[in-house]
Amino acid sequence: MKRDLFASRSSAENSGAVPWERGMAAARALRSRRGLGSDELQTSDLLALLGLNAGVLEADSKLDWLPAGLAVRRDDQLRLLLRARDPRSRRFELARVMGDLAAAPESDRWHPVTRLKTARQKAQRAFAAELLCPVEGLSHFLGGDRSEDALDAAAEHFDVSTRVVQHQVGNHLDW
């Protein structure tokens, strides 16, 4: 996995200077290297990419006060504090951690996931959106239908929030 993330970093660095382009390129490179295609990514597959078990996606109400999520990497171990409570939001937050692991310098040990609008956070969000709900797969699934029902069905299919689907459609699909 580490090799796949660092290979994704290389793809991202060569994709352009805009953070969301780097994030999308890294997610596409990871999907390609892992043979994931452009359809939905099952939660079990997402967890397997990081070598984690399903327990990390269980919400802990004691952590609601956290202002941000955080991953700390030490050697080959990853410690996570996910802030989100909703299962889909926790998947997205975990995918953002992966995006940060792919984009941050290898020497970085702390990987924050915040609401800030920094370049780092923008790249994380774009990585997570493309990893969980790839534009190509979303376009195929929707088949040109932008109705509310179609967007909700796509969110269900890709196991992301409707907001992620709306973002992908609004920013990347030009029908």
Q: Residue 66: which of 85, 43, 52, 83 has the closest Cα? A: 83
Number of Cβ within 10 Å of residue 73's Cβ equals: 18
Note the pLDDT of residue 74: 86
> CA-CA distance, 131 to 125, in Å (whole number)?
10
Which residues of the chain, if any, have pLDDT below 50? none
Note the pLDDT of residue 127: 98
| Strand spans (E) along 44-166 | 69-74, 77-81, 110-113
Note the pLDDT of residue 38: 96
Q: Residue 72: which of 121, 113, 111, 114 has the closest Cα? A: 111
Note the pLDDT of residue 43: 94
Note the pLDDT of residue 3: 57
Note the pLDDT of residue 46: 95
Note the pLDDT of residue 175: 61
Residue with tokens 């099952």: 42
> CA-CA distance, 114 to 153, in Å (whole number)?
28
The pTM is what? 0.88
Note the pLDDT of residue 8: 57
> CA-CA distance, 125 to 133, in Å (whole number)?
12
Note the pLDDT of residue 152: 98
Note the pLDDT of residue 64: 67
